[in-house]
Amino acid sequence: MVRTVYSPEYCLQYLEQYASQEIFVTGLILGQITEARENVIHLARTPEEKNSDSTSENSSVSDKAEAVRNLLGVSEAWVADHAKHVTRMLPGGMFVQGVFITSDEDIFEDPNYFSKVRSILNYTYKVLHANEYMYGNCPYTNERLVLHMSTNTKVLTCKTVEVGSNVKNTIIKPVDWKFLSKPQQWQRLDCYYEFDDVYPVIVKKSGISVKHQFQQILESAHKTIESSVMFIDGELRNGSEALEQLIKKKKPKNSSKSIQDMAKSMHVSLFVPFENSLPETVEYLECDGSIHFSGVVSSSVFMCPKATINEAIAAVKQDIVRSLASRFTMHCDALIDDNLLPEEKVCFNEPPRRVLVPVGTLYLCDYLFPGEAPAEALLSVRELLDLQITETDVVCDVETPADTSEFDALDRDASSEELLATPQEASQFMYITGICFAMLVLIVSIIIHYYDSILEVITKLLTRS
């Protein structure tokens, strides 16, 4: 069966724009795969590559660039780095589905060019697979799209290539690519997931690794979110049911409104099951401090209306975990020193907050550090997505800046050393309290045991007197 892909018509105009200039261009295909349908949402040109000594995995795509004239000159690491940055901007359920190319060479017939395509796809797969919490690779298929438009004939060809370390023989399959004149319809699901957890901290000789602590928080959050149960508009839904069926149920019988006018957004709530049993053995860990991880993650996921409830559940959970992983990575990359020394009593870390940016009929996201203006998001969108938007298009109120009043109070308390007891002082206090309590219990036990004898002696003394 031939794989069918649906894409908005502006993607065709996007390709024709570069093909008409007869220049070589490579970029990423962004979209969503469900059992019912595969949709492409956007084509994002990969920025021109920097000089070779800066094409590392952590490189930025904002430095001075130099033109690459054909596919053989493209760096696999540069395309993979672009895919990694773009994945952070995608909501849950959306993935980098492949690459597009405009060139005068036939990349499917020339073995050198096709070998380069496979190398780019496999390297990108490997880089995105390195961080499992980013959900960089689509879990439903290992096949990636390769879309090519000839700058000579303007003929468009799309095929799939299987990627992964276990792939020995490359299988190429044709793809039926269909451009839609009408905008694609999406069902939006909004969720606000609150975190308020405390994690232990152990200080090593070299200090505390912020990246390591965040990784532990991310692992714990991932387990909690995966075990949670999702309610849509306050109800537990059948996982095999399509989203469009829920929309139809909401529509009143006598209403003249269309289905798309009903319920522009569905509210999602995640509930974590209560563990009512404790393990037989409890491990006690001596720690030097704690991390209070608190805040609300705003999630906005866009699904094809034909997608099932289970697919929507997976997308929402992916979105929350991917957002946390993106913020932690960006925050740690921005730190001057990853290690915090033990003498630092209180430390406040504020990862970047999420903002929404429009792409077609849906929204992708970007992240702003404290003090950054919406104009900063315009640079990322222009560079990574090859889109021109205005500052007013950026939705900045989905998450509010962190409230630092509680931290300020803790900081003031930490500065007063007389209010802080050392672990040794605390243990001595508990030890002394335990001895006093034991002596009191012993005295009471003796009185109760010899109560009759003591009462008889007291009676005789009173009689004599």
**Is 195 in the same domain as 306?**
yes
**Is 199 in the same domain as 142?**
no
Strands 3-8 and 25-33: unpaired
Q: Assess if residue 387 is contained within a domain.
A: no
**Is 137 in the same domain as 226?**
no
Q: What is the edge-to-edge ordering of all strands in the sheet holding 187-201?
A: 229-232, 265-271, 187-201, 289-303
Task: Please tell me the predicted confidence (pLDDT) of residue 273.
Answer: 81
- Expressed as residue numbers, the domain containing 61 is 3-180
* CATH number of the domain to which 54 belongs: 3.40.140.10
Domain boundary among 156, 180, 204: 180
How many domains, the chain? 3
Task: Please tell me the predicted confidence (pLDDT) of residue 208.
Answer: 75
pTM of the shown model: 0.81
Q: Assess if residue 385 is contained within a domain.
A: no
Task: Please tell me the predicted confidence (pLDDT) of residue 406.
Answer: 64
Task: Please tell me the predicted confidence (pLDDT) of residue 289.
Answer: 81
Scanning the structure block, which residue is given the tokens 């500065």? 415
pLDDT, averaged per 10 consecutive residues of the chain (465 residues), comes to 92 95 94 95 92 48 57 95 98 97 93 94 95 94 95 95 77 93 93 90 75 90 94 93 84 51 76 69 73 91 96 97 96 80 69 94 94 92 95 92 67 50 34 44 59 62 60
Q: Assess if residue 382 is contained within a domain.
A: no
The answer for residues whose C-beta is within 8 angstroms of residue 58's C-beta and 6 or more apart is 333
Domain boundary among 165, 180, 195: 180
**Is 254 in the same domain as 337?**
yes
Task: Please tell me the predicted confidence (pLDDT) of residue 115.
Answer: 93
Contact call for residues 433 and 426 (beta carbons, < 8 A) = no
Contact call for residues 177 and 157 (beta carbons, < 8 A) = no
Q: Assess if residue 348 is contained within a domain.
A: yes
Q: Assess if residue 379 is contained within a domain.
A: no
What distance in Å separates the CA atoms of residue 307 and residue 187, rounded to the nearest whole number? 9
**Is 201 in the same domain as 83?**
no
Local structure of 363: helix, strand or coil:
strand
**Is 289 in the same domain as 216?**
yes
**Is 258 in the same domain as 402?**
yes
**Is 194 in the same domain as 173?**
no
Contact call for residues 262 and 345 (beta carbons, < 8 A) = no
- Which tokens go with 153? 């004939």
- Which tokens go with 12? 């065709």
Q: Assess if residue 381 is contained within a domain.
A: no
Contact call for residues 305 and 187 (beta carbons, < 8 A) = yes
Domain boundary among 180, 202, 234: 180
Task: Please tell me the predicted confidence (pLDDT) of residue 200.
Answer: 85
**Is 170 in the same domain as 280?**
no
Task: Please tell me the predicted confidence (pLDDT) of residue 188.
Answer: 96
**Is 361 in the same domain as 411?**
yes
**Is 370 in the same domain as 428?**
no
Cα-based angle 188, 319, 218 (whole degrees, multiple of 5): 155
Q: Assess if residue 388 is contained within a domain.
A: no
The answer for residues whose C-beta is within 8 angstroms of residue 10's C-beta and 6 or more apart is 360
> What DSSP line would sit under 16-67, residue for residue?
HHHHHTT--EEEEEEEEE-SS-EEEEEEEEPPPP--GGG-STT--TTS----
Task: Please tell me the predicted confidence (pLDDT) of residue 60.
Answer: 46
- Which tokens go with 409? 């109070």
Residue environment code for 219-250, b if the CB has 16+ CB neighbours within 10 A, otherwise e: eebbeebeebebebeeeebeeeebbbebbeee
Q: Assess if residue 383 is contained within a domain.
A: no
**Is 40 in the same domain as 158?**
yes
